[in-house]
């Protein structure tokens, strides 16, 4: 595998605590700006995995972990928001397969405690749990090789970087030029009282569903897909049934009247890009990217699907031709993920399911990335005209073609 084909890695330090969107920007904008600036290439597209370490998971046992979904997805939203505003300022395209001067960035959460120390004889391995979130040892074991590894030049940044290098030893021969220090931002950690209670933990579910157009896959889509994947309850190894992530991808016929419709990607392209993005979050192999960039995708009855983690996680993209999709044709769905702009759809879905005598879905709302306030992080808003969107991407494609 050539270096040019590899993604790069940015190891961020621990997020500020508490996570305030203004402080998060002050913490992460400097290293993200430096990294994205260096990855903007005039002759090719770049890929970047942004690793965010923080003690997300609760629970003493590997197979019995819990976390607070609302706070977790908000952290992911905040990082994608910062990436989006930096890329807008630097004229870097953020959508998948956007060509030269683009950066396809993926945010990956790593469960890691800043006080954790690894003994000298520790041998890292892939140790998945009942969530899609992995720990630092698993990340170091399954995510490699890299083109470059960016790390933050600060006390916390170096602590994460040194722990990672120890765990990743032997996975890849790294040249000095591949290890790139970047400046860090503000570091804030407010001491919590001993009796501090963690936020309410969130149930995970065997079958999770969401829908969208996913045209020119961009950070808003990535946030939605990540938030949905976080809700999956991954069964134990050897389980006869997998958890299932069902993604409704709007059919081509429904998009014919969209603005700049001639630049809408075909359904198969959009569905494939969804699966390829999720593979970065879900696929775990000791060979890392060497297992091949080509994902084993199965096509049946107009749907595309792929399996991950030894068959314990199945992702299925299905064609939807209305606002409801599989939520009113498949009874065995547990949770529905919506964005702020589609929150009313959750109630409509449950009304339809009630008419059929089916159980209501648990509805989870994801933050919306809005261009007007994105520099302040993620926000819920009813004004979507200026949102970083597929329409804006298609408009730029149309303008580029005319020029």
- Give me the phi and psi of 150, to 5 degrees please: -90, 140
pLDDT one-digit tens code per residue, 87-121: 989 999 999 999 999 999 999 999 999 888 888 88
pLDDT of residue 380: 43
Alpha helices in 40-111 (DSSP H): 69-90
pLDDT one-digit tens code per residue, 359-393: 999 999 998 775 444 444 444 434 333 446 677 77
Structure token digits, residue 116: 């954790």
pLDDT one-digit tens code per residue, 65-78: 999 999 999 999 99
d(CA 26, CA 171): 33
d(CA 270, CA 277): 11
pLDDT of residue 344: 81
C-beta atoms surrounding 116 within 10 Å: 13
CA distances from 366 to 28, 222, 231 (A): 21, 11, 12
What pTM, to 2 d.p., does this model score?
Answer: 0.93
**SS3 state of residue 368:** strand
Question: What's the distance, CA 265 to chain centroid?
Answer: 21
**DSSP code, position 5:** G
Band the pLDDT of 403: cuts 50, 70, 90.
low
Closest CA to 31 of 69, 86, 76, 81: 86
Q: Are 201 and 67 in contact (CB under 8 A)?
A: yes
């Amino acid at each position: 595998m050539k270096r040019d084909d590899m993604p790069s890695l940015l190891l961020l330090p621990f997020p500020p605590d508490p996570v305030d969107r203004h402080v998060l920007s002050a913490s992460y904008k400097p290293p993200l700006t430096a990294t994205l600036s260096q990855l903007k290439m005039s002759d090719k597209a770049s890929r970047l995995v942004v690793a965010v370490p923080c003690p997300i998971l609760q629970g003493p046992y590997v197979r019995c972990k819990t976390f607070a979904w609302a706070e977790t997805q908000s952290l992911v939203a905040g990082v994608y928001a910062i990436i989006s505003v930096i890329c807008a300022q630097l004229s870097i395209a953020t959508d998948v397969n956007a060509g030269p001067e683009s950066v396809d960035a993926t945010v990956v959460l790593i469960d890691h405690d800043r006080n954790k120390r690894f003994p000298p004889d520790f041998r890292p391995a892939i140790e998945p749990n009942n969530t899609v979130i992995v720990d630092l040892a698993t990340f170091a074991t399954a995510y490699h090789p890299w083109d470059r590894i960016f790390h933050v030049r600060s006390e916390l940044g170096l602590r994460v970087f040194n722990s990672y290098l120890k765990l990743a030893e032997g996975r890849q021969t790294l040249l000095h030029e591949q290890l790139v220090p970047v400046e860090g931002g503000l570091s804030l950690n407010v001491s919590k009282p001993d009796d501090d209670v963690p936020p309410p933990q969130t149930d995970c579910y065997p079958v999770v569903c969401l829908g969208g157009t996913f045209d020119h896959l961009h950070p808003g889509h990535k946030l939605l897909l990540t938030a949905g994947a976080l809700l999956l309850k991954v069964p134990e190894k050897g389980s006869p049934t997998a958890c299932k992530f069902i993604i409704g991808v709007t059919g081509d016929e429904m998009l014919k009247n969209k603005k700049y419709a001639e630049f809408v990607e075909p359904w198969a392209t959009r569905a494939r890009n969804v699966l390829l993005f999720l593979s970065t979050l879900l696929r775990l192999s000791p060979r890392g990217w060497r297992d091949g960039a080509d994902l084993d995708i199965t096509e049946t009855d107009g749907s595309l699907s792929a399996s991950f983690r030894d068959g314990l996680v199945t992702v299925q993209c299905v064609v939807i031709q209305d606002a409801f999709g599989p939520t009113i044709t498949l009874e065995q769905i547990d949770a529905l993920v919506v964005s702020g702009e589609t929150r009313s759809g959750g109630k409509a879905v449950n009304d339809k399911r009630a008419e059929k005598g089916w159980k209501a879905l648990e509805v989870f709302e994801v933050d919306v990335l809005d261009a007007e306030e994105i520099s302040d992080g993620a926000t819920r808003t009813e004004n979507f005209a200026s949102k970083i969107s597929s329409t804006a991407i298609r408009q730029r494609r149309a303008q580029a073609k005319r020029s």
